[in-house]
Structure 1
Amino acid sequence: MHTHLQQRLEEGTRNLLINCAECTPGQKVLLVYETENDGYYDPALLDEVHKTAEHLGLITQSYGVPLARDVTDPDDNLVAKMLEADCTVFLARLGDQIRFRTKDASKKQIISYALDCEMLASPFGTIDYSAFEDLKQLINAAVASAKEIHVTCPAGTDFKGKVGQATSQIGDVTRKRFPVSVFAPVPASDFRGSVAQRGFLTGTGSHYYSPWSCEIEDTLLVNFDGSRITGFEGSAKDVAAARAHYEFVGNKYGIDTYYVHSWHAGIHPGCEYKTAAGRHFERWSGSAFGNPRLLHFHTCGAYPPGEISLNVLDPSIRLDGLALWENGILRIDRLPESAALLEASPDLAKVFQSPAAMVGQAACGNLRYR
């Protein structure tokens, strides 16, 4: 491996294990990896994290798990291993599937959304975890204090509302995300309007059903009022496809089919996804969301993250008229409170000056099914 890339990869792994997991020499780290070989997690990632962990004086153990198509709690053997370890790092979709569950969350657990060595070695993986944790708190506070939030996008998204409760009360994940990719989910209960969808509807990474995605050929408007989808607007074909997909998923799991739980957007401009989303929807859904060019809703199911994700490309998010997101660009410099953070973290400031542009778009520049 190229020396510079190896150095960046080690830097990203230290960020994961030291800055995020807060491990210290002599501690036991359990690396849970996925035994599936479908291109979701890079198999080389496990070896690289293991190698750097050993150099850091950590005692590592690996534990392979298959992909569970439906959400399940960790099996008893894995739970026992997790209780023996000081920290568990998930390089497997299982961590993402149980991220909102409180069971077996008493020991430190980290979910890696850096899915391969390139992502871990990029600014997405190497910029100090704590800098983005601080940034998240600034954005949480700004969102929670806004009297009106107005979201639009070039495709026709247009909804308004406010946060009805402090973001500290919102059901955020029970495990730590690495890197910090999104602000706390905003309940949809006090919002109403339309969410424009182009390309597809797809899953959230909760259950893995089939088909997991359905094609949207033109532009579909998903109208909602509070926590309810009230209808679809678009071509007859797209409306029928959307209704059929929602009904299929809702009936399969016996859940509130048209429930709208919450929404949030990416906050990490170092998050880059270079492959078109349609080549691997599950992988795209599990990683690209961290870029500020993407905002997503949790729908279909009265629980986070729901089962169907609505995805908005290049949102503008105005807080009391202030465009904190402007056509997919997070203008954190417009928050006066961010000045000290940007000054204290040159790497953070640099990535905002040159944000990653690739978030899974097709050659046409839009999100597409194929």
Structure 2
Amino acid sequence: MVHQTPERGARNLLVNCAHAAAGDRLLIAYEPAKFGYFDADSVRIVSDAARQLGLSVDTIDVGFDPGNPHLTPDLRKRMMAADIVLFLARLGDQLRFSDMPPGKKIVVSFAHSRELLGSGFSTAHHAAFLELKTAVNTVLASASEISITCPRGTNVTGRPKMDLSAAGDTTVTRFPMSVFTPVPAHSFSGRVALSFLTGTGSKYYEGYTLEFDAPVFALMENGRLSGFSGNRVDVARAEAHYDRVSTALNIDRNFVHSWHAGIHPGCAYPWNMRDNFERWGGTAFGNPRVLHFHTCGAYAPGEISWNVFDPTIVVDGVAFWENGTFLADRLPTGPDILARYPCAGNLFAHPDRNIGMALAV
């Protein structure tokens, strides 16, 4: 077995994701560690790997502006001069659906630390997960019915109407690739079991996360939030949370935009989620134990997420996820993909189920 190191993860990012070649100009737009999200080592690790590959490296501190994410004139100018732009910063995630210069090779990294760069999340061949994403998309695009359940009582059904055009996904390349193309929610109805509400990483606001004392169900009808059921006090708090966020941001309160589940069994979160919900929400959604709805706002990714744990997803009678395990070998092309990329196959044989919380299910 090849030893996993952060340097190997950085090389996978540069070679297999960004397709970097000697002589390319790499711009790393980074967020300093003082903001508590990206660590202090990642820029150095990736920069060193890039220079070893013969790339020229430029770096720029883009800070973190939760209320007004934007590309400054200097950043935009330096992006235009680069062949590859890598965001080791939340700014890239905040703007991943918009405002990026066209025609540029732009990569947003969700591996925000030395630990994640050195884990199977980053070291497994990037192409394997691109192929798995395509395989899942193909199955979903031809499906007649999908059901989503979980041990806590989620029960959602619908017929997917996939948008596999460029408009249906983000405008940047993500590393690692950990989800399939979001499924539009307008044809789905049912109830979603929730233990908390948290933001999506699009905008940051006071009261970003709301935890419940007991399970709460979000009720959805054809992609619209119709209410909540559960403990009376928690239901009132949930309604007030949606009122406050939608009013403050002037967005469609009850719109449920889309959903996706994690496809990367190496995507672990080895920290306590409650220490930093923002960091957790920007990472753990790629683990197959998490299914993630984008809500509150008629756009991706919305501003409030619903997170379903240990989902079972049945597509036309076939369970491709069972209690949070992604059974990639059930995809028509799955066995071939896993055979050609043994690094990915090993992750599926030994998935990392640590998502930062202990669930009694």
Answer yes or no: same fold by TM over 0.5.
yes
Task: Give the Cα–Cα distance (whole angstroms) in 1 for the partners of residues 149 and 303 of structure 2.
Answer: 23
Task: Give the Cα–Cα distance (whole angstroms) in 2 for the partners of residues 60 and 330 of structure 1.
Answer: 37
The answer for unaligned runs of 5 or more in structure 1 is none
Q: Deviations over 1:211-236 (max 9, x none)?
A: 11112111100001122100100001
The percentage of counterpart residues that share the same residue type is 46
Confirm or deny that 1:73 pairs with 2:70: yes
TM-score using structure 2 length: 0.97
Q: Deviations over 1:15-54 (max 9, x none)?
A: 1011100111111100011135132111111111111111
Task: Give the Cα–Cα distance (whole angstroms) in 1 for the partners of residues 124 and 68 of structure 2.
Answer: 31
Please say if residues 170 and 185 of structure 1, whose CA atoms lie closer than 8 Å, have aligned partners that are also in contact. Answer: no
Tell me how far 1:71 sits from its aligned partner: 4.6
**1:85 aligned partner:** 82
Task: Give the Cα–Cα distance (whole angstroms) in 1 for the partners of residues 147 and 320 of structure 2.
Answer: 11
Confirm or deny that 1:184 pairs with 2:181: yes
**1:123 aligned partner:** 120
Please say if residues 100 and 171 of structure 2, whose CA atoms lie closer than 8 Å, have aligned partners that are also in contact. Answer: no
Other structure's SS at 1:124 match: helix
Give the 5 Å matches for 1:201-240.
201-240=197-236
Give the 5 Å matches for 1:1-80.
8-35=5-32, 37-80=34-77
Tell me how far 1:10 sits from its aligned partner: 1.6
**2:94 aligned partner:** 97
Tell me how far 1:310 sits from its aligned partner: 0.3
**1:247 aligned partner:** 243
**1:310 aligned partner:** 306
Give the 5 Å matches for 1:191-206.
191-198=188-195, 200-206=196-202
Give the 5 Å matches for 1:279-298.
279-298=275-294
Please say if residues 33 and 40 of structure 2, whose CA atoms lie closer than 8 Å, have aligned partners that are also in contact. Answer: no
Other structure's SS at 1:218 match: strand
Task: Give the Cα–Cα distance (whole angstroms) in 2 for the partners of residues 10 and 164 of structure 1.
Answer: 40
Tell me how far 1:252 sits from its aligned partner: 0.6
Confirm or deny that 1:147 pairs with 2:149: no
Other structure's SS at 1:47 match: helix
Confirm or deny that 1:329 pairs with 2:325: yes
CA-based RMSD = 1.5
Could you tell which deviates more after superposition, 47-56 or 322-331?
A: 47-56
Task: Give the Cα–Cα distance (whole angstroms) in 2 for the partners of residues 352 and 281 of structure 1.
Answer: 26
Please say if residues 140 and 162 of structure 2, whose CA atoms lie closer than 8 Å, have aligned partners that are also in contact. Answer: no
TM-score using structure 1 length: 0.94
Task: Give the Cα–Cα distance (whole angstroms) in 1 for the partners of residues 289 and 350 of structure 2.
Answer: 13
Task: Give the Cα–Cα distance (whole angstroms) in 2 for the partners of residues 174 and 20 of structure 1.
Answer: 15
Please say if residues 141 and 167 of structure 1, whose CA atoms lie closer than 8 Å, have aligned partners that are also in contact. Answer: no
Could you tell which deviates more after superposition, 24-33 or 159-168?
A: 159-168
**2:295 aligned partner:** 299
Task: Give the Cα–Cα distance (whole angstroms) in 1 for the partners of residues 251 and 258 of structure 2.
Answer: 16
Tell me how far 1:330 sits from its aligned partner: 0.4
Tell me how far 1:338 sits from its aligned partner: 1.2
**1:266 aligned partner:** 262
Task: Give the Cα–Cα distance (whole angstroms) in 1 for the partners of residues 68 and 202 of structure 2.
Answer: 6
